Amino acid sequence: MVNLREIKGRINSTKSTKQITKAMQMVSSSKLRRAEQNAKAYVPYMEKIQEVVGAIAAGTKDSGHPMLMSRPVKKTAYLVIGSDSGLAGAYNSSILREVQNTIIKRHKSTDEYVILAVGRVVRDYFVKRGHNVIADVIGLPDQPSFADIKEIARNAVGMFIDGTYDELYMYYNHFVSAIQNEVTVKKVLPLTDIAPSSNDASYEFEPSGEAILEVLLPQYAESLIYGAILDGKASEHSARMTAMKNATDNANDLIADLSLQYNRARQAAITQEITEIVGGAAALE
């Protein structure tokens, strides 16, 4: 009977865990819908600002703005976007592994790069391994506004302009669908990959293209970072929803297996009791 109690306890414990994972799956599903809407709603703004920046940059090629010019790379910055908590499958580990492999391939010393971390998991990972984390933001809401990430975005752009580092790469999970995310690497600074505008519209600059770029380029780089964070949040919720669904399915399978074990053990115990009763009756005769 001890064995029966043990199995019954495991069944009850697994059922309790299943209730938690099911609830977390439903919560993540709800958050995913909003996060996906936010990410998609931001796309038209990004496309328009990229079009305008491309048009102005094409018309002011000799502006000499530091954000448009490549320079000898002495130090590289990596902006890594992750989450504040786990239980999201391979969401964080896939990004961290990609960044770690890049660092090993490209750098021989910690003096050659710096880390800007978005998310507690990312920050703790690099701090524990002795990497130089110069900025971080943790505790972002599930549906972040630009005000929530403004400080790290402006610091990232400002430190490039000041010469703290010579290039900035961004690592995040791109949301493809509810069941698929892709680790994405994007070069943010310098802005040497701005595509020329395909729009035939002509722009008149007032006061001048250079003056507009002075204001617009930092905003454009910051918007790239914000867009990646929105994209990453959608990926985080989808990864957590998928992970909790898998955990719930595994709990169902485990409950079924334990129930089968319980029934077999119970049947064996009943058979043993009947055998003992029959044996005792036969002995009395």
Instruction: Evaluate if residue 250 carries a pLDDT over 80.
Output: yes
Instruction: Evaluate if residue 221 carries a pLDDT over 80.
Output: yes
Instruction: Evaluate if residue 201 carries a pLDDT over 70.
Output: no
pLDDT score, position 173: 92
**Cα(27)–Cα(237) distance, integer angstroms:** 9
pLDDT score, position 212: 75
End-to-end CA distance of the chain: give it in Å, rounded.
29
* pLDDT mean over 220-246: 91
* pLDDT mean over 214-227: 86
pLDDT score, position 265: 83
Q: How many residues does the chain have?
A: 285
pLDDT tens digits, residue range 35-49?
A: 989 888 888 888 888
* pLDDT mean over 71-93: 90
pLDDT score, position 64: 67
pLDDT score, position 200: 57
Residue 209 pLDDT grade (very low, low, confident, very high; cuts 50, 70, 90): low
The domain defined by 23-243 folds into Pyruvate Kinase; Chain: A, domain 1 (3.40.1380)
pLDDT score, position 192: 75
In which order are the strands placed within the sheet that holds 133-137? 133-137, 113-118, 76-81, 167-177, 180-189
Q: Which residue has the higher pLDDT, 145 or 193?
A: 145
Q: Among 59, 45, 47, which residue's Cα sits nearest to residue 213?
A: 59
**Cα(233)–Cα(227) distance, integer angstroms:** 10
* pLDDT mean over 213-218: 80
Instruction: Evaluate if residue 2 carries a pLDDT over 60.
Output: no
pLDDT score, position 54: 74
* pLDDT mean over 140-146: 89
Instruction: Evaluate if residue 78 carries a pLDDT over 80.
Output: yes
Instruction: Evaluate if residue 96 carries a pLDDT over 60.
Output: yes
Q: Among 172, 187, 170, which residue's Cα sits nearest to residue 94?
A: 172
pLDDT score, position 123: 93
pLDDT score, position 235: 92
pLDDT score, position 61: 59
164 contacts 176 by C-beta, under 8 angstroms: no
Structural domain spans, the chain: 23-243
Please give the C-alpha separations between residue 74 and each of 114, 132, 142, 264, in angstroms, as whole numbers: 11, 15, 36, 68
Strand (E) or helix (H) holding 118: strand 113-118
Q: Which residue has the higher pLDDT, 189 or 212?
A: 189
Model confidence pTM above 0.85: no
pLDDT score, position 85: 87
pLDDT score, position 199: 59
* pLDDT mean over 205-216: 73
* pLDDT mean over 24-53: 86
Residue 269 pLDDT grade (very low, low, confident, very high; cuts 50, 70, 90): confident
